[in-house]
């Protein structure tokens, strides 16, 4: 989460709607996620929230008037190297201006000069929103490839009930991550995809105004994705257990990415300290046997299964019902371990109702060969190899570096970067493979 927007430059436009106060939270979320945020306000917005608030939150001077501009924050400099211009809230007035190419203040001039993606989150009284003038303006923007983060329905600040309330900052943040993740993919696969530009291309199809989340891709819609994550704990007695160092971060990031892509996601999780990702159904288990039971329940209805959990290979044969005491006269304690069932193999080797099956290979030595063996032995469609002997990636780290294999060899490699970004790239690859 922390590094999700590292090295991203975002111009946050704030206009004169009552929801301007929510832009403070949005700004904070973007900065917290690593983005370099430059706030650009309209005159009307400054009547709602002070410039200084945004300057403090973003760590940069805030621009308003076009003639106040310095060299560093001119309307051209603001968008150069920007990854996204995000206007939240966007008033009816500013939407109209953008639709007609106005450049009469810093924000409209900046938007007109932008070569990066532009996303706007309209916020206004429901009659203003429903007005054909506003709808026509939005339609124009949609057709030009601008992302519209559609407002929600509910009680508005003016007392009326209807559509026009700006989406919550947390939800807008999610939309921003989704938009920018796709850009990362294009950059990463620059040569492979032969894309002749380093910016996110405009969406190919006009986006629907009625969509609540106007994301560039919803490739997961209609798919059921089952993911296991985290460690398992194998009891020795009521107070002790055998476990491993898995934090669950990679599996949780995958679940979040799959949900963002529109999939119906069930996450079967061993014990972790992580919050359940938004829009994901989580089932908490403890031992390998419990995890297997949960997987069995969902596997036949799943299209994709990703085994990301670090399932204990062995469990204690006879769990002591009472706490084992230190015994006098003996320096050793012998525990008999028995093999746990191989959960991912039980899915990969299914003869019917078999989902597209992806396993993870956390290896410390002879990595590539071990990963390929695992793919074959367990009947996987893909195996994702990460070298956990490297401390800067793998277990407990926020970063990862992975290589993906299928039965023909290497499919793709993602250099060291945040687990969230890796998860987004991996999910898109997995979904595309599963569909073909």
Would you name the residues annotated as active-site residues?
A: 158
CA distance 147 to 281: 28
Nearer to ligand FMN by Cβ, of 125 and 400: the residue is 125
CA distance 41 to 49: 9
Interface with ligand FMN by CB under 6 A: which range of 38-46, 140-148, 285-293, 373-381? 38-46
Q: What are phi and psi of 38, to 5 degrees?
A: -110, 120
Q: Which of 18, 209, 289, 367 binds ligand FMN (CB under 6 A)?
A: 18
- 123 sits near ligand FMN (criterion: CB under 6 A): yes
Nearest residue to 297 via CA among 385, 369, 231, 226? 226
Is the dihedral angle over the CA atoms 58, 63, 68, 70 positive or is it negative?
positive
Of 50-109, binders to ligand FMN (CB under 6 A) are 91-94
CB of 121 to ligand FMN, least distance (A): 11
CA distance 183 to 351: 39
Nearer to ligand FMN by Cβ, of 47 and 416: the residue is 47
Nearer to ligand FMN by Cβ, of 91 and 181: the residue is 91
CB of 104 to ligand FMN, least distance (A): 9
Binding mask 238-267 for ligand FMN (x = CB under 6 A): ------------------------------
Nearer to ligand FMN by Cβ, of 17 and 248: the residue is 17
**How far is the CA of 73 from the CAs of 3, 35, 61, 302, 401, in angstroms?**
25, 17, 8, 51, 36
CB of 92 to ligand FMN, least distance (A): 4
Nearer to ligand FMN by Cβ, of 42 and 269: the residue is 42
Of 326-355, binders to ligand FMN (CB under 6 A) are none
CB of 303 to ligand FMN, least distance (A): 42
Nearer to ligand FMN by Cβ, of 31 and 92: the residue is 92
Interface with ligand FMN by CB under 6 A: which range of 13-21, 181-189, 289-297, 371-379? 13-21
Q: Which of 8, 22, 24, 42 binds ligand FMN (CB under 6 A)?
A: 42
- 126 sits near ligand FMN (criterion: CB under 6 A): no
CB of 97 to ligand FMN, least distance (A): 7
Nearer to ligand FMN by Cβ, of 40 and 258: the residue is 40
Interface with ligand FMN by CB under 6 A: which range of 41-49, 139-147, 246-254, 264-272? 41-49
CB of 164 to ligand FMN, least distance (A): 7
- 15 sits near ligand FMN (criterion: CB under 6 A): yes
Binding interface with ligand FMN (CB under 6 A): 15-19, 42, 44-45, 91-94, 123-124, 128
């Amino acid at each position: 989460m922390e590094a999700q927007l590292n090295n991203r430059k975002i111009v946050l436009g704030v206009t004169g709607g009552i929801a301007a106060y929510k832009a403070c939270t949005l700004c904070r979320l973007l900065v917290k996620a690593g983005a370099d945020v430059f706030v650009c306000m309209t005159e009307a917005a400054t009547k709602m929230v002070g410039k200084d608030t945004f300057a403090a939150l973003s760590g940069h001077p805030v621009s308003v008037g076009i003639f106040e501009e310095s060299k560093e924050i001119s309307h051209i400099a603001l968008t150069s190297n920007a990854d996204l211009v995000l206007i939240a809230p966007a008033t009816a007035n500013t939407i109209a201006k953008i639709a007609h190419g106005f450049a009469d203040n810093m924000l409209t001039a900046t938007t007109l000069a932008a070569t990066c993606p532009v996303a706007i989150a309209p916020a206004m009284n429901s009659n203003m929103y429903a007005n054909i003038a506003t709808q026509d303006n939005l339609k124009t923007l949609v057709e030009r490839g601008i992302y519209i983060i559609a407002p929600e329905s509910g009680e508005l600040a003016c007392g009326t009930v209807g559509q026009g309330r700006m989406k919550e900052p947390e939800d807008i943040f999610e939309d921003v991550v989704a938009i920018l993740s796709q850009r990362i993919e294009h950059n990463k696969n620059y040569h492979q995809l032969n894309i002749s530009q380093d910016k996110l291309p405009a969406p190919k199809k006009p986006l629907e105004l009625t969509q609540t989340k106007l994301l560039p891709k919803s490739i997961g819609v209609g798919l059921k994705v089952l993911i296991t994550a985290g460690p398992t704990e194998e009891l020795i007695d009521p107070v002790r257990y055998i476990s491993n160092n898995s934090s669950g971060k990679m599996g949780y990031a995958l679940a979040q990415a799959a949900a963002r892509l529109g999939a119906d996601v069930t996450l079967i999780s061993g014990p972790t300290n992580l919050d359940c990702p938004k829009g994901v159904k989580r089932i908490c288990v403890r031992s390998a046997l419990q995890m297997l039971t949960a997987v069995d329940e969902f596997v036949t209805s799943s299209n994709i299964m990703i085994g990301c959990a670090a399932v204990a290979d062995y469990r204690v044969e006879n769990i002591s019902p009472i706490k084992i005491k230190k015994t006098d006269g003996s320096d050793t304690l012998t525990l008999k371990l028995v093999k746990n069932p191989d959960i991912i193999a039980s899915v990969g080797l299914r003869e019917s109702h078999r989902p597209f099956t992806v396993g993870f290979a956390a290896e410390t030595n002879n990595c590539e060969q071990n990963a390929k063996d695992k793919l074959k032995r367990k009947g996987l469609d893909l195996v994702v190899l990460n070298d956990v002997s490297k401390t800067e990636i793998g277990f407990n780290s926020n970063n990862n570096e992975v290589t993906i294999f299928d039965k023909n060899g290497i499919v793709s490699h993602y250099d060291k970067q945040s687990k969230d970004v890796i998860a987004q790239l991996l999910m898109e690859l997995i979904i595309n493979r599963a569909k073909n």
